[in-house]
Structure 1
Amino acid sequence: MSYDDEFMRRAKYISDIAHVELDEILRKVEEYIEEMGGLIKPDGALSLIAMELGVEISSETVKKPLLRLDRLVPGMRKASVRGRISKIYGVIEYVNRSGERSERAELRISDDYGQADVIIWSQSLVDEVKRGELREGDEVLLSDVRVASRGGRIVIHLSSDSKIEVLSRGVAPASEVISSTEEIYGREGEEIDFRGTVVRTFPVSEFMREDGRKGRRGSAIVQGEDGGTIRVLFWGDKASYSENLKPGALVTLRNFRVITREDSVELHSTLRSSVDIEGGIETIEATVLYKFPEEASLLGKKFLDILVEIDGELAILRIWDKWVDLLRGMEPPFIVRVGPIFRRYDDLLSLSRSGNLEIVEIVDRKVKDIEKLARSLKYKRVPIGEASDGFREFRGTIIGISEEAKVSWHCPLCGARVSYEYGSYSCPNCGPLERAIPLLYLSLTLDDGTGVARVMVFGRNAERLLRMSTEDVIRRADELGQPFHSIPTDELSAEILGREVIVRGKATYMEGGLVKMVLDEIEPVNYSSEVHSLIREIEELWLGAEGNENSDG
């Protein structure tokens, strides 16, 4: 029979005190187990032997077994756990029950089986944290701790009787900053760092708590690299963060807790939360060389992408609303003074919605053949199998189309998808609504031989493909008795399936090698243009190689 190290340590202790050979102690253990027909465990048999021999095993003499983090249960006392410090949140001030200001320290530990938050109440141990004696990456032993729960999560409490022993120094784990909203799902209860672009902010509101005190709450919508958005809530004194956020700003939200709300997730501030706002370029002068067609978001926000030259570098700049109106009718080239500007996650420059744009000078000359250059700069042509996130251009064959074109309904305030129950709409962010905005969509599957892309077609692009307005689709769905406003795409499928096309839009690399693109433009392949482009590429390669040979002598 084999025994673990803790059992053998206890047996050795009994052997030493009672002056009985260790083998004899182990033999007696097996006898007890056999006599009891296996109803007693080795630890119980060892305790009986200790009683027979008059050996007292006190809590001070015998170290309590270490518990795995996944086996901690609220209500445990005097427990011992071992783990590695994965995050130190720092020292937090609070007002104790006596009304006096005090301090506590909070950190997180993990082992091979789970993780748990740790709250240190002992001032001497808090001082250790303040002096930097505990570091991220250290393996520690926590003794005489109390286990509780907070929001359904296990929390380890250390009082004045508790001890912390550093078993080994380790390397601090790399700070993980999540930038995709898809990565947040499945992390319920965790505190994470999230990086994204502020899309919308909401005014701070006050509410009454259950204890009669006033509370404050702010909120914002933040967009991740994958194009998905998430609602962020700022509670209490953290509500001031939302007042300082501006749409278009790139932010890193640190130590925000993941909260699940039905089919969506939210990020909620905690006492440890903070927000890093990345600064942008304050003001620049740029020459506008080309204007892409005006576009509008689901909520009707106008935006315009323009090709600009800044200090010899070409870039795409996105402007909004009134600045779109200002440039309407203006023919490039002309010089503007604009700012503040932020670089978005998709590498576009964006004018902050609180920014300013001023026309400085009209340039009296024309730029020839700039449209193709502008498109190639905004939408990089790549094979689907080599695609990365960003604005891309694919050439491929349509091998599939969704069986139905559908209409989804969205909140006119924040753009979130709404539900329809009992004759009214409800937004997960804004609550009950009197109306909702319809959005027509369908999907295409594109294959170029290197990979497959799922092309999502929304709004006007979907209307152009179907040759039907959104209102026509809704009426047709009602005629067909479709409560969710969907119509078959049989006619469109027969028309475009098997066609070779060029698509442009925002691409996102998905798991399993699939690429998703939100369509901006679609057009049939112009084979003459494609051949000329290919010949030009070959000539450049050949002449380039020839030039290199000549330069070598």
Structure 2
Amino acid sequence: MSYDDEFMRRAKYISDIAHVELDEILRKVEEYIEEMGGLIKPDGALSLIAMELGVEISSETVKKPLLRLDRLVPGMRKASVRGRISKIYGVIEYVNRSGERSERAELRISDDYGQADVIIWSQSLVDEVKRGKLREGDEVLLSDVRVASRGGRIVIHLSSDSKIEVLSRGVAPASEVISSTEEIYGREGEEIDFRGTVVRTFPVSEFMREDGRKGRRGSAIVQGEDGGTIRVLFWGDKASYSENLKPGALVTLRNFRVITREDSVELHSTLRSSVDIEGGIETIEATVLYKFPEESSLLGKKFLDILVEIDGELAILRIWDKWVDLLRGMEPPFIVRVGPIFRRYDDLLSLSRSGNLEIVEIVDRKVKDIEKLARSLKYKRVPIGEASDGFREFRGTIIGISEEAKVSWHCPLCGARVSYEYGSYSCPNCGPLERAIPLLYLSLTLDDGTGVARVMVFGRNAERLLRMSTEDVIRRADELGQPFHSIPTDELSAEILGREVIVRGKATYMEGGLVKVVLDEIEPVDYSSEVHSLIREIEELWLGAEGNENSDG
């Protein structure tokens, strides 16, 4: 049976609102017509089906078919769309054309086909946002909206004639905070939350806009947990944020837009952007109980993690550069006065780059078996399938290794990955360079039966696994004619595949259930130690249960 366009629009509207397949709606229409011997027309049958499904049809709704978000085109008016609120940015003050202060609300919706920003100009609808009538996770129907574009992205505008109807309540999606610069690529135009460490700041500058008004711009280089860096630009009133940032500060950049410039990406502030700077703790006294092996960042910045006791509580504290030199050669325990310190997002404490560390007293006694305790405090042992972000320890079997070990090249000033063209290096942040820093890396796949982890092995750890220096890898790659400095890992693969190992490092939970680990330490499983640990755990559980029984009795 064939139907005209008007009928199909009505049927599609019922299908969308009632979440019933369009084919099922049409099948029921035919059933009604057949049951009544042709005495009812298709439009009448459709009206009966709408009543059954609880969908109200009016001439108004029929004229405004629902549109998928990927079908929206700038210039559309009186359109109707349905989507789920993925983010509410809140209410923003602005100066209208009359020079008066006013308010608008901004949010983002998404459906199975795309996403779009929504700007609400109607004061009554803005008030609904302020009263919490709309929530992240709600499925909403937006009617009589206007479609425009902003920066090449689709934007839906709601005026005083527009309507918002909440179709169903939903659970607010978890706020995603990105901490790896690799995850920013491919998200052009999106507004994201990014967490990292300030590497460098630049003075705020003024410039003249096209309309003759003065503008302000600040910028900074922020490093992610993967060692990569990204340039962040603060515009207008947001430029003051860059004046408050100091190298070494841990920050969370909220609602910053991803902008692509040639081969690099940047984060730009918007009216919705904000910056969270990790709070500090004043100078304290702490007893240093253990020093982890000294490490260095891609830019050569030295850092050292130490186990400290602060007022009876144990914690891991990270110190930097000259303070690493100060403690080199000293054997714990000893007492230090240190601060200001900050609680990092991964639950470690960190001495501010501008902070101070002073040795107060040498303690004349030794602490037994402290190394194992220190490791267990820094790296919590969990199954891969239950892992959350942070420093973790996994026991599992190596089931895969990257086919090649590669060398990437990085800027000695900011750490960004550089390109090599016409015999010279070029940094997306700092421009042409005379030299670049090589970084050797490969990856392993670890399986513990509960999940799979991708273990990223960089620098010295990669050299130890390969038993080759970075320079040897570059030389070998040149011999093999590999322009991008990579060598096969066949020999290493034959040696370590199938081995059961203990892996320690910084873990990040990725989409799809995969866990990424930046390797700190890897060692074969000590079965004797594992058995003793298991026996102790069973004894504690048994004795604990026995004690509870006795106390109850």
| TM-score computed with the length of structure 1 as normaliser | 0.75
Are the counterparts in 2 of residues 145 and 159 from structure 1 also a CA contact under 8 Å? yes
Are the counterparts in 1 of residues 293 and 304 from structure 2 also a CA contact under 8 Å? yes
Are the counterparts in 2 of residues 335 and 362 from structure 1 also a CA contact under 8 Å? yes
Are the counterparts in 1 of residues 284 and 339 from structure 2 also a CA contact under 8 Å? yes
| Closer, same or farther: CA 155–406 of 1 in aligned 2, 3 Å | closer
Alpha-carbon distance, 1:322 to partner: 1.9
Cα distance in structure 2, aligned partners of 1:24 and 1:397? 50
RMSD: 7.6
Are the counterparts in 1 of residues 505 and 518 from structure 2 also a CA contact under 8 Å? yes
Cα distance in structure 2, aligned partners of 1:25 and 1:508? 46
Alpha-carbon distance, 1:43 to partner: 13
Cα distance in structure 1, aligned partners of 2:254 and 2:346? 22
Write the deviation string for residues 156-179 of structure 1: whole angstroms up to 9, x where unpaired. Answer: 446687788999999988766666
Cα distance in structure 1, aligned partners of 2:425 and 2:161? 55
Alpha-carbon distance, 1:442 to partner: 2.4
Are the counterparts in 1 of residues 228 and 416 from structure 2 also a CA contact under 8 Å? no
Are the counterparts in 1 of residues 179 and 196 from structure 2 also a CA contact under 8 Å? yes
| Closer, same or farther: CA 59–379 of 1 in aligned 2, 3 Å | closer
Alpha-carbon distance, 1:319 to partner: 0.9
Write the deviation string for residues 123-180 of structure 1: whole angstroms up to 9, x where unpaired. Answer: 8887887898988788888776543211112234466877889999999887666667
Deviation larger for 15-24 or 367-376: 15-24
Alpha-carbon distance, 1:373 to partner: 1.6
Please name the residue that 1:391 is paired with.
391
| Closer, same or farther: CA 5–228 of 1 in aligned 2, 3 Å | farther
| Closer, same or farther: CA 424–45 of 1 in aligned 2, 3 Å | farther
Write the deviation string for residues 261-284 of structure 1: whole angstroms up to 9, x where unpaired. Answer: 566654321122222334233333
Q: Matched residue of 2:29: which SS?
A: helix
Cα distance in structure 1, aligned partners of 2:481 and 2:537? 54
Give matches, 1:6-85, under 5 Å.
69-77=69-77
Alpha-carbon distance, 1:420 to partner: 1.3
Are the counterparts in 2 of residues 246 and 352 from structure 1 also a CA contact under 8 Å? no
| Closer, same or farther: CA 37–423 of 1 in aligned 2, 3 Å | farther
Q: Matched residue of 1:346: which SS?
A: coil
Q: Matched residue of 1:60: which SS?
A: helix
Alpha-carbon distance, 1:236 to partner: 2.3
Q: Matched residue of 1:17: which SS?
A: helix
Find the structure with the greater CA-based Rg: 1
Deviation larger for 261-270 or 3-12: 3-12
| Closer, same or farther: CA 451–160 of 1 in aligned 2, 3 Å | closer
| Closer, same or farther: CA 402–105 of 1 in aligned 2, 3 Å | closer
Are the counterparts in 1 of residues 399 and 446 from structure 2 also a CA contact under 8 Å? yes
Alpha-carbon distance, 1:342 to partner: 2.3
Are the counterparts in 2 of residues 66 and 81 from structure 1 also a CA contact under 8 Å? yes
Are the counterparts in 2 of residues 193 and 252 from structure 1 also a CA contact under 8 Å? yes
Deviation larger for 164-173 or 71-80: 164-173
Write the deviation string for residues 489-512 of structure 1: whole angstroms up to 9, x where unpaired. Answer: 344445545544433222334455
| Closer, same or farther: CA 475–538 of 1 in aligned 2, 3 Å | same
Cα distance in structure 2, aligned partners of 1:519 and 1:48? 64
Deviation larger for 160-169 or 5-14: 5-14
Are the counterparts in 2 of residues 285 and 310 from structure 1 also a CA contact under 8 Å? yes
Cα distance in structure 2, aligned partners of 1:50 and 1:508? 48
Cα distance in structure 2, aligned partners of 1:199 and 1:481? 36
Percent identity between matched residues is 99
Alpha-carbon distance, 1:28 to partner: 24
Cα distance in structure 1, aligned partners of 2:113 and 2:488? 49
Alpha-carbon distance, 1:298 to partner: 0.7
Write the deviation string for residues 238-291 of structure 1: whole angstroms up to 9, x where unpaired. Answer: 122122124554444333223345666543211222223342333332211111
Alpha-carbon distance, 1:344 to partner: 2.1
Alpha-carbon distance, 1:544 to partner: 4.8
Q: Matched residue of 1:61: which SS?
A: helix
Alpha-carbon distance, 1:387 to partner: 3.9
Write the deviation string for residues 322-346 of structure 1: whole angstroms up to 9, x where unpaired. Answer: 2212222332112223223222232
Cα distance in structure 1, aligned partners of 2:277 and 2:253? 9
Cα distance in structure 1, aligned partners of 2:70 and 2:412? 44
Are the counterparts in 2 of residues 197 and 344 from structure 1 also a CA contact under 8 Å? no
1:324 equivalent in alignment to 2:330: no
| Closer, same or farther: CA 438–549 of 1 in aligned 2, 3 Å | same
Cα distance in structure 2, aligned partners of 1:40 and 1:201? 74
Write the deviation string for residues 356-379 of structure 1: whole angstroms up to 9, x where unpaired. Answer: 323333323221221222122222
Are the counterparts in 2 of residues 284 and 338 from structure 1 also a CA contact under 8 Å? yes
Deviation larger for 176-185 or 419-428: 176-185
Write the deviation string for residues 524-549 of structure 1: whole angstroms up to 9, x where unpaired. Answer: 44455445444544554555555556
| Closer, same or farther: CA 76–298 of 1 in aligned 2, 3 Å | same
| Closer, same or farther: CA 419–307 of 1 in aligned 2, 3 Å | same
Deviation larger for 369-378 or 77-86: 77-86
| Closer, same or farther: CA 416–8 of 1 in aligned 2, 3 Å | closer
Write the deviation string for residues 388-424 of structure 1: whole angstroms up to 9, x where unpaired. Answer: 4332333444444433322110111221222212222
Alpha-carbon distance, 1:477 to partner: 2.0
Cα distance in structure 1, aligned partners of 2:503 and 2:236? 47
Are the counterparts in 1 of residues 252 and 276 from structure 2 also a CA contact under 8 Å? yes
| Closer, same or farther: CA 498–113 of 1 in aligned 2, 3 Å | closer
Cα distance in structure 1, aligned partners of 2:226 and 2:408? 20
Write the deviation string for residues 62-115 of structure 1: whole angstroms up to 9, x where unpaired. Answer: 976665554432223455667777655455555666777766554555677655
| Closer, same or farther: CA 499–253 of 1 in aligned 2, 3 Å | closer
| Closer, same or farther: CA 137–514 of 1 in aligned 2, 3 Å | closer
Alpha-carbon distance, 1:15 to partner: 26
Cα distance in structure 2, aligned partners of 1:405 and 1:29? 63
Are the counterparts in 2 of residues 248 and 342 from structure 1 also a CA contact under 8 Å? no
Are the counterparts in 1 of residues 120 and 126 from structure 2 also a CA contact under 8 Å? yes
Are the counterparts in 2 of residues 226 and 508 from structure 1 also a CA contact under 8 Å? no
Cα distance in structure 2, aligned partners of 1:482 and 1:15? 57
Alpha-carbon distance, 1:316 to partner: 0.8
| Closer, same or farther: CA 37–261 of 1 in aligned 2, 3 Å | farther
| Closer, same or farther: CA 432–35 of 1 in aligned 2, 3 Å | farther
| Closer, same or farther: CA 79–328 of 1 in aligned 2, 3 Å | same
Write the deviation string for residues 175-215 of structure 1: whole angstroms up to 9, x where unpaired. Answer: 66666767656654333444555455444445565567654
| Closer, same or farther: CA 267–370 of 1 in aligned 2, 3 Å | same
Cα distance in structure 1, aligned partners of 2:52 and 2:536? 96
Q: Matched residue of 1:219: which SS?
A: strand
Q: Matched residue of 2:59: which SS?
A: coil
Q: Unaligned stretches of 5+ in structure 2?
A: none
Are the counterparts in 1 of residues 279 and 343 from structure 2 also a CA contact under 8 Å? no
Cα distance in structure 2, aligned partners of 1:523 and 1:22? 58
Are the counterparts in 2 of residues 282 and 340 from structure 1 also a CA contact under 8 Å? yes
Deviation larger for 220-229 or 148-157: 220-229
Alpha-carbon distance, 1:297 to partner: 0.4
Cα distance in structure 1, aligned partners of 2:162 and 2:143? 6
Q: Unaligned stretches of 5+ in structure 1?
A: none
| Closer, same or farther: CA 56–454 of 1 in aligned 2, 3 Å | closer
Are the counterparts in 2 of residues 6 and 65 from structure 1 also a CA contact under 8 Å? no
Q: Matched residue of 2:73: which SS?
A: coil
Are the counterparts in 1 of residues 289 and 309 from structure 2 also a CA contact under 8 Å? yes
Cα distance in structure 1, aligned partners of 2:55 and 2:534? 90
Deviation larger for 106-115 or 398-407: 106-115
| Closer, same or farther: CA 322–139 of 1 in aligned 2, 3 Å | same
Deviation larger for 124-133 or 196-205: 124-133
